[in-house]
């Protein structure tokens, strides 16, 4: 148990009412989880404002209230602290409450629109195979060594995140690899963490429902690198047009990877097929089990990080060559009729185009591509017609269906997808709102050797409809209709 005064470092305190020489049993941002002598931090969320639950938190035993706005009527014996930013306060308090766990690990963060999960997962698998005890924080799952902890967010809230890192330290982990989403960066969930290194994959349209403008989205990603210490390394994709901009203000040591120009970590694709990638990396030839140009970039990023972490390059490449990617990222299934099924998380226009252009380039002339795709509800609407157009442009047949409609009417989402399609595209798609029926129809349409891409949900084991998560697994459904 910590004293409040010992976990308030680096926080801009505007007002303090009561004693800071009091014990803190737990940190909470959810009033329902408050216990006796907790510190309740009131955070203004996108949907719920924690300030409305201050009284409820006190009734449950909170002895400390940290908020941007304090109530007029204060309860005797409760310490109230007014701060400039509750998100930031939660991050710093959690950092110190859990004994600064990120300072006891080699922590590497990965940000970018696409590739975060694959890069973080490959780093975890690579360093585990090299003999280290590792932790993973990703969209698919969190892991402490081999123990799986289900993930609900790409990047957990600051308190959960520091608690997880603390547990990794206690379990003797030496390395931790984590995804850093733009929303998490903007909401200070990673503020106060000590990063050994950071990676940038790429940036395209995403999360504009939250950030509102692409410039704000870019700024959020860039701030991750702007705040790195001099002791850290920063690795960026030189082939992305904003790859160098991302690192222009960082104090960390800069490195770049590229397939197209000179770089610290230079790659060249020698052969790309449905059985894997043959690449040359810094003049060494190596075969990987992953496929596609987008994975060539992911592999370069992972290789670069390993070298920056002082691992022997040849050993890194040898170990990396035997690894598979993350669940729901180009997951490969072959039916007993030799139809190829691929389940992928691609949920942005750029990610979908990357997967489809790779398939189009690798397939034989007789093979058709059938794409099943939808768009999430209550999210950026501008990408819906772009996703639909990409599916039609690079597929022989597209089936538009429901993704996670959340609180939106699925038919409205599908109507948005159909807006602005070219005349050629309109001849290539059909609409089947029920996702299970859409996958079944794709299997019925496929001939021997054809490729079915089920895009958008990847590793997810549910479909969210009107606030309820119904069990649904694209891979399981595809296996069923493949009679596997």
**Binding annotation for meso-2,6-diaminopimelate:** 379, 403-406, 456, 460
Distance CA 325, CA 191 (A): 28
Q: Which residues of 337-347 are buried (b: 16+ CB within 10 A; e: fewer)?
A: eebbbbbbbbb
- What tokens were used for 306? 């390993």
Tokens representing 76 are: 């005797």
* Residue found under tokens 């148990």: 1
Instruction: Return d(Cα 138, Cα 176) in angstroms, integer.
Output: 11
Q: Residues annotated in the binding site, as ranges?
A: 31, 112-118, 154-155, 181, 187, 189, 379, 403-406, 456, 460
The one-character DSSP state at 33 is: G
∠ CA 83-88-92, rounded to 5° = 100
DSSP string for residues in 457-470: -TT--EEEETTEEE
Strand pairing of 253-258 and 265-273? parallel
**Quick check: 441 and 332 in contact, CB under 8 A?**
no
CA count, 13 A, side-chain hemisphere, 322: 10
Number of neighbours of residue 325 by Cβ within 10 angstroms: 21
Angle between helices 383-394 and 349-362 (to 10 degrees): 0
Q: 292-320 burial, b if ≥16 CB within 10 A, otherwise e?
A: bbbbbbbbbbbbbbbbbbebeeeebbebb
Distance spanning both ends of the chain, measured CA to CA:
53
Binding-site residue ranges for ATP: 112-118
Written as six digits, the tokens of 282 are 């810094």
CA pair distance 364, 353, nearest whole angstrom: 18
**What are the residues whose beta carbons fall under 8 Å from the beta carbon of 408, sequence distance 6 or more?**
377, 378
3-state secondary structure 212-278: CCHHHHHHHHHHHHHCCCCCCEEEEECCCCCHHHHCCCCCCEEEEEECCCCCCEEEEEEEEECCEEE
């Amino acid at each position: 148990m910590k004293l409040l005064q010992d976990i308030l470092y680096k926080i801009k305190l505007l007002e303090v009412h009561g004693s800071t020489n009091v014990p803190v049993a737990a940190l909470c941002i959810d009033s329902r989880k408050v216990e006796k002598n907790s510190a309740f931090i009131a955070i203004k969320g996108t949907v719920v404002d924690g300030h409305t639950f201050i009284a409820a938190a006190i009734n449950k035993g909170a002895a400390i209230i940290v908020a941007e706005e304090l109530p007029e009527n204060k309860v005797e014996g409760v310490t109230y602290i007014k701060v400039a930013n509750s998100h930031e306060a939660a991050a710093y308090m959690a950092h110190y409450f859990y004994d600064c766990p990120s300072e006891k690990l080699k922590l590497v963060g990965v940000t970018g629109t696409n590739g975060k999960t694959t890069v973080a997962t490959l780093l975890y698998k690579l360093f585990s195979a090299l003999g280290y005890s590792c932790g993973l924080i990703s969209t698919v799952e969190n892991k402490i060594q081999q123990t799986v902890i289900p993930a609900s967010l790409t990047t957990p809230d600051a308190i959960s995140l520091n608690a997880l890192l603390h547990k990794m330290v206690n379990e003797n982990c030496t390395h931790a690899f984590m995804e850093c989403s733009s929303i998490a960066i903007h909401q200070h969930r990673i503020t106060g963490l000590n990063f050994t290194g950071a990676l940038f994959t790429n940036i395209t349209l995403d999360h504009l429902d939250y950030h509102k403008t692409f410039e704000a989205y870019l700024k959020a990603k860039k701030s991750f690198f702007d705040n790195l210490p001099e002791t850290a390394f920063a690795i960026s994709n030189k082939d992305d047009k904003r790859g160098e901009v991302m690192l222009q203000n960082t104090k960390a040591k800069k490195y770049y990877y590229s397939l197209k120009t000179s770089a610290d970590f230079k790659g060249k694709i020698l052969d790309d097929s449905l059985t894997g990638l043959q690449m040359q990396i810094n003049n060494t030839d190596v075969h990987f089990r992953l496929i596609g140009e987008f994975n060539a970039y992911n592999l370069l990023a992972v290789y670069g990080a390993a070298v920056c972490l002082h691992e022997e390059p040849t050993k890194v490449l040898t170990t990396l060559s035997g690894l598979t990617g993350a669940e729901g990222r180009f997951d490969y299934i072959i039916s007993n009729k030799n139809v190829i099924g691929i389940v992928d998380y691609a949920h942005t226009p750029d990610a979908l185009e990357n997967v489809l252009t790779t398939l189009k380039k690798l397939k034989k002339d007789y093979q058709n591509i059938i794409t099943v795709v939808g768009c999430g509800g209550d999210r950026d609407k501008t990408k819906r017609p772009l996703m639909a157009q990409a599916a039609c442009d690079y597929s022989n047949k597209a089936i538009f269906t429901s993704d996670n409609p959340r609180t939106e009417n699925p038919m409205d989402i599908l109507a948005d997808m159909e807006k602005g399609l070219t005349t050629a595209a309109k001849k290539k798609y059909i609409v089947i709102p029920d996702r299970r029926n859409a996958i079944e129809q794709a299997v019925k349409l496929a001939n021997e050797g054809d490729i079915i891409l089920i895009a958008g949900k990847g590793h997810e084991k549910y479909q969210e409809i009107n606030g309820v998560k119904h069990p649904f697994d694209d891979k399981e459904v595809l296996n069923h209709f493949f009679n596997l």
